[in-house]
Amino acid sequence: MKAEKLSFQDAAFLRLESEQHPIHVAGLMVLKQPEDMPRGYFRRLARHCGRLNELWPLFDKKLQNPDSLRNPAWVKADDYDPDYHVSHYALPAPGRMEDLLTLVSRVHERALDRHRPLWEIHLIEGLSGNRFALYTKVHHALVDGVGALRMVDTLFSTSPDEMINFRKAKPKALAHHRKLSLARQFGAVRGELKRHSSALQEMSGLLAHMGMDSLLGKRDTPPLPFTAPRTLFNTDVDSRRRIITADLSFSTMRKIADSQGATINDVLLAVCGGALREYLKGAKALPKPSLEAGVPVSIKATSAEDGNKVGFIIAQLFTDEPKPLTRLKRVVRVTRKAKDDLRHMSRTAVQDYANLLMMPTLILNLAGRASQIPPPINVIVSNVPGSRQRLYLEGARLEALYPLSVVTDGMGINITVVSYLKRLNVAITSCPTEQPGIENLGRLLKQELDALAAAI
């Protein structure tokens, strides 16, 4: 392949990265061993994992000059060696889930080697109940979290008899940049400036409206950016990571949502709010104002626009509210209003609003000063729809899929959820140095869901 220049955003992910702040997305998959598993099954699976560069071409490229990011570009990895990308080991008996999460936390701490293609797979045998795990991490400069989940989806099959087909490559869709004449380039720039000028007016109107709600003391309305309280989640982070997982009943959450005119996402936010409240109370660090979450949401387009719009809202988690059902009702009011605000904005304005929320933190991360400004939000809570069908990998049944994300200075916790069959697989990525006892958060999530169900 010819040298492929990185986009500004992808290059920024590399510039943001350091040994203390690795910037990769990952997935932890728990699988049930096939019945009548053939001898040498794990060795064969490890070999097949080493050939994923044949299936996904983006796994077969590396940085042209890994020691300099002046003009970063991808080139084909002509020295690709699977032994540097696939690790194979086993847990000590009895193969507890806690042991797996400790191992994965240590692996998740380490940055990827920039002199090689930026991905790794770890095959981990010995999990109790005849199970094993696959932990996969890919640099954010190669793919985002949603893209990584789509790649995983193409790897699995709905049939236990289907094997990975290496003859069928699945290239990642890349933007097609046409060479434009100078006149057309000026026209494109003029159109872009016009769109962003109009978007600025829309965004200014939204912020003015939110500011007026705040001045009038209105309750349960979307908060202004950078008004979140500072918490122990919003400090500088070091290289330590703690991965926490939890499984929540989808049917329970659906019943709660239907009974209150809420969405699954509303119920998830209320449960997260209750769990974070209990955690911070236990740590004697619960602030008086409510914590605020950044929530990626899908906004259904108006009739004048095809497809969906994806936006980013700030939702209060009402950690100042002790009653689970009241908390949910307040969450519903805020998210409904926030989504309605975005629904009446153009796609450009929605994207610019998301950039307004996150860009100052990213820039200050580069300068090492992210924790010196008020946090735009306290935590990210992202809910991604997954498969409703049972999935298999070379005969092994997928039991759970936990998506792991990035934490940075000023944003030391990330909660990502994927629905699979009748459960929500929750994965929490955190930096435990300033978060004592954070490993209890998975248990608190289940406890809060039970409390909410009992309150209805």
Please give the single-letter amino acid code of residue 418.
V
Q: Which helix (H) or strand (E) holds 396?
A: strand 396-404
Q: Hey, what are 422's tokens?
A: 């009748």
Q: Annotated catalytic residue: which of 21, 108, 140, 344?
A: 140
Q: Is 106 helix (H, G, I), strand (E, B) or coil?
A: helix
Q: Is 44 helix (H, G, I), strand (E, B) or coil?
A: helix
Write the CB contacts of 304 (distance below 8 Å, at least 6 apart in sequence). none
Task: Kindly list the distances between the CA atom of residue 132 and the CA atoms of 7, 88, 360, 400, in Å, as whole numbers in the listed order.
Answer: 37, 11, 41, 11
Write the CB contacts of 198 (distance below 8 Å, at least 6 apart in sequence). 346, 348, 349
Residues counted in the chain = 456
Q: Annotated catalytic, 196?
A: no
Q: Where are the alpha helices (DSSP H) in 111-215?
A: 145-155, 182-215
Backbone angles phi, psi at 152, to 5 degrees: -60, -40
Q: Where are the alpha helices (DSSP H) in 71-131?
A: 97-109
Task: Kindly list the distances between the CA atom of residue 76 and the CA atoms of 3, 21, 120, in Å, as whole numbers in the listed order.
Answer: 8, 26, 17
Among residues 230, 220, 236, the alpha carbon closest in space to that of 280 is found at 230
Q: Is the CB of residue 27 less than 8 Å from the CB of residue 149? A: yes
Q: Is the CB of residue 33 less than 8 Å from the CB of residue 130? A: yes
Task: Kindly list the distances between the CA atom of residue 248 and the CA atoms of 225, 318, 330, 413, in Å, as whole numbers in the listed order.
Answer: 30, 20, 21, 19
Please give the single-letter amino acid code of residue 347.
R
Backbone angles phi, psi at 151, to 5 degrees: -65, -45
Can you say how many angstroms the Cα of residue 245 is from the centroid of all Cα atoms in its chain? Answer: 14
Q: Hey, what are 220's tokens?
A: 């349960």
Q: Residues with catalytic annotation?
A: 140
